[in-house]
């Protein structure tokens, strides 16, 4: 029997002056409006991200974080702004009890009572506003107030609650009881968990007030003064440790990353060692020769992802706080050693065992840490956004509050939900990813920007936990190796592996799935369906040098949007 398979996609969008792909149509439109007003890709990214903070409150927000990658065409320069959360100053390695015999998908144990997942101890110091304002100040063209106008206008009007938000509310309510302030926003009529819960609209007027303050005074309006004190006071009132001092001390991590090379393409991935290792491994295989629908392509990508995830989960730690072989993980020499374990016809034993990147940790030039990124460019010049402009600049970001509604902690005076990034630390002391004050936890999610021979090629990121890695890398590989246009590259079926089972899209032919099973993969077959994205949700943009057009891709298509000019 042959049956049709659903495909949730967008019609192709091409443009000349600018392209923006976002997790919500209003975000993409805000990005293009910034370009229409004379801005560039960084203005577009910032405008789209702040709109996303308003219209996708279950997924991202000013109480969350981001990972930003930029390619500046005029100087052929790659810049990373890692605006991830940092642990509060009162945090410490033994602050959580460990739940025995229960493992998160990060590979470490859950905390007792899920204290790192939701509630007063789950939020880390939010970095979103600091990072995007810094990117805009350093590389944008338009005034910050102009860039934030769309987000402020939408917040003043209030936000419609969509089906995915209702599902997220019901799921988080099942995890545990909401705090009173959270319940007032998400369950104003007392809806229970037996149905998709929540109001038709959320009052975001307080968020609009906060955004107006940021538009007028910059990030200092959030990290110091009234707003910071409001966050600290509220957290103290519910038994939390996040304080105004934590907000004042926050700084993004800014790097001039040495671009990696895949085939003849230079790229960076916002300090994501999983992406670097996986692509370094796959570069040695003739993926184009095998074809995008072959067993070999599916098998080798799954194996490379599994190896890279296993190695990072074992060895990664914030290099500003612990000795961690972050350069070794990204080393081509280390990848060459790991590549030799891959067989073209059989899967590695599960669970995979980590390799040793330490001998390769000094094998290449280190990234330059930048203390003042404004010196890099002149003034003129778990959602996601990707943007490109007619000057050739590229920008992409991954933005998140962690789980749906983050920690479920809502700060009424500020109008935002706080993240639950403390769940990304290993709650056990003495490990590379253990908790320490001011430390950033592990987060393997690429925000890629790529250029070929000094010309823009691709920018993309995604949402959906570690499936972001799968979605973005597949889209990149499908463009570079299989010569797909960007929307087709995003649409194409994927596989996912973190070192154990291999998750396979149902659209992949049964003959290929069966062959993978015979080769030793522990197959789990899933399908895309509204309200979820088991292989990540991807937004990407591309520059076609031959046709001289910008194009955008996004998918699955529920809620995502693409706009061009």
Nearest to 335, CA basis, from 368, 292, 303: 303
Among candidate residues 80, 182, 382, 560, the one labeled active-site is 382
- 382 classed as catalytic: yes
Q: Encode burial over 533-552: b for 16+ CB neighbours within 10 A, e otherwise.
A: bbbbbbbbbbbeeeeeebbb
Q: What is the DSSP string of 500-545?
A: S-EEEETTS-HHHHHHHHHTT--EEEE--BTTB-TT-EEEEEEEET
Contact 475, 461 (CB under 8 A): no
With vertex at residue 144, the alpha carbon angle to CA 143 and CA 145, rounded to the nearest 5 degrees, is: 90
343 SS3 class: coil
**Could you tell me how many residues make up the chain?**
565
Alpha helices (H) in 179-317, listed in sequence order? 180-186, 205-217, 220-223, 226-237, 244-249, 273-282, 287-290, 295-315
Distance CA 394, CA 73 (A): 8
434: phi then psi, degrees, rounded to nearest 5: -70, 165
Give the Cα separation of 565 and 44 in Å (integer): 12
* Contacting residues for 243 by C-beta, under 8 A, at least 6 apart: 88, 89, 90, 232, 235, 236
User: Which residues carry out catalysis?
Assistant: 382
């Amino acid at each position: 029997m042959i049956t049709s398979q659903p495909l949730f996609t967008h019609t192709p969008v091409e443009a000349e002056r600018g392209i923006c792909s976002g997790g919500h149509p209003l975000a993409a439109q805000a990005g293009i409006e910034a370009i229409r007003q004379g801005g560039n890709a960084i203005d577009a990214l910032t405008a789209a991200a702040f709109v996303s903070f308003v219209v996708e409150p279950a997924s991202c927000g000013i109480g969350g974080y981001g990972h930003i990658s930029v390619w500046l065409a005029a100087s052929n320069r790659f810049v990373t702004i890692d605006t991830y959360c940092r642990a509060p100053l009162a945090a410490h390695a033994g602050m959580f009890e460990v739940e025995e015999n229960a493992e998160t998908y990060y590979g470490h144990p859950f905390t007792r009572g899920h204290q790192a997942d939701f509630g007063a101890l789950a939020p880390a110091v939010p970095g979103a506003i600091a990072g995007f304002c810094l990117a805009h100040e350093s590389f944008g063209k338009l005034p910050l107030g102009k860039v934030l106008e769309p987000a402020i206008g939408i917040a003043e009007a209030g936000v419609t609650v969509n089906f995915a938000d209702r599902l997220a509310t019901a799921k988080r309510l099942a995890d545990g009881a909401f705090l009173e302030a959270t319940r007032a926003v998400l369950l104003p009529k007392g809806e229970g968990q037996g149905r998709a819960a929540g109001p038709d609209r959320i009052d975001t007027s307080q968020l609009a007030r906060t955004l107006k303050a940021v538009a007028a005074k910059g990030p200092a309006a959030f990290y110091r003064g009234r707003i910071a004190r409001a966050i600290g006071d509220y957290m103290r009132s519910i038994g939390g440790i996040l304080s105004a001092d934590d907000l004042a001390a926050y700084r993004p991590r800014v790097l001039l990353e040495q671009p990696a090379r895949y085939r003849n393409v230079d790229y960076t991935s916002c300090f994501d060692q999983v992406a670097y290792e996986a692509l370094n491994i796959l570069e040695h295989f003739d993926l184009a020769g095998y074809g995008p629908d072959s067993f070999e392509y599916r098998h080798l990508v799954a194996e490379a992802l599994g190896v890279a995830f296993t190695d990072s989960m074992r060895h990664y730690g914030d290099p500003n706080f612990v000795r961690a072989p972050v350069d070794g993980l990204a080393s081509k020499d280390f990848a060459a050693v790991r590549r030799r374990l891959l067989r073209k016809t059989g899967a590695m034993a599960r669970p995979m065992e980590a390799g040793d990147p330490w001998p390769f940790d000094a094998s290449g030039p280190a990234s330059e840490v930048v203390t003042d990124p404004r010196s890099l460019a002149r003034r003129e010049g778990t959602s996601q956004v990707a943007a490109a402009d007619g000057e050739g600049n590229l920008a992409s970001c991954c933005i998140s509050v962690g789980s749906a509604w983050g920690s479920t902690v809502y700060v009424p005076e500020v109008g935002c939900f706080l993240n639950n990034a403390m769940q990304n630390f290993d709650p056990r002391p003495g490990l590379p990813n253990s908790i320490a004050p001011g430390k950033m936890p592990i987060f393997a999610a690429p925000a890629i920007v790529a250029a070929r021979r000094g010309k823009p090629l691709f920018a993309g990121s995604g949402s959906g936990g570690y499936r972001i890695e799968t979605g973005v890398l597949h889209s990149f590989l499908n463009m570079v190796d299989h010569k797909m246009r960007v929307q087709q590259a995003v649409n194409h079926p994927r596989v996912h592996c973190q070192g154990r089972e291999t998750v396979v899209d149902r659209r992949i032919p049964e003959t290929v799935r069966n062959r993978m099973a015979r080769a030793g993969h522990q197959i789990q077959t899933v399908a895309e369906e509204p309200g979820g994205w088991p292989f990540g949700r991807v937004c990407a943009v591309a520059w076609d040098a031959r046709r001289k057009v910008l194009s955008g891709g996004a998918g699955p298509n529920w809620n995502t949007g693409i706009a061009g000019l």
